[in-house]
């Protein structure tokens, strides 16, 4: 996953958290960090050790559903592809629309005051 100038792919969401620390997240194509298109849902396990690697590094395993990904230069996660989580996708779109609306309203109010 990689974002450059707000454009790229990233994980959003954290649902169905298990005792082992894993959770369901959805991988999104983002534009200016705003979620545009869901690319897939994953069960994500944070790795214990942190390694310095480029953030677009993906290590494939023999199981085609599991991959290791780097969310940043130091945070590595194990991801297993699961069914799209439509509840999470809906909530992410709603949250994005609310945040975009609040930001637009704030810009409009500030432009009227200045």
**Looking at residue 85, what DSSP letter applies?**
-
pLDDT for res 75: 61
Distance of CA 20 to the CA centre of its chain: 20
Condensed to tens digits (0 to 9), the pLDDT of residues 75-91 reads 667 788 899 999 999 99
Provide the domain count of the chain: 1
Q: Does 111 score more than 80 pLDDT?
A: yes
Give the β-pairing of 7-15 and 23-31: antiparallel
Domain that holds residue 10: 3-113
C-alpha distances in Å from residue 30, one per residue of 47, 62, 103, 106: 25, 29, 17, 22
Q: Does 16 score more than 80 pLDDT?
A: yes
Instruction: State phi, psi for 112 to the nearest 5 degrees.
Output: -75, -30
Strand partners, 58: 69
């Amino acid at each position: 996953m990689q974002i450059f100038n707000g454009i790229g792919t990233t994980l959003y969401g954290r649902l169905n958290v298990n005792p082992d620390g894993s959770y369901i997240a959805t991988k999104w194509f983002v534009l200016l960090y705003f979620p545009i298109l869901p690319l897939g849902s994953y069960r994500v396990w944070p790795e214990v050790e942190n390694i310095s690697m480029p953030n677009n590094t993906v290590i494939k395993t023999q199981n085609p559903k599991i991959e290791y990904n780097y969310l940043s230069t130091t945070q590595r996660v194990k991801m297993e592809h699961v069914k799209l989580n439509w509840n999470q996708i809906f909530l992410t779109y709603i949250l994005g629309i609310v945040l975009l609306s609040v930001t637009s309203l704030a810009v409009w109010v500030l432009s009227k005051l200045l």
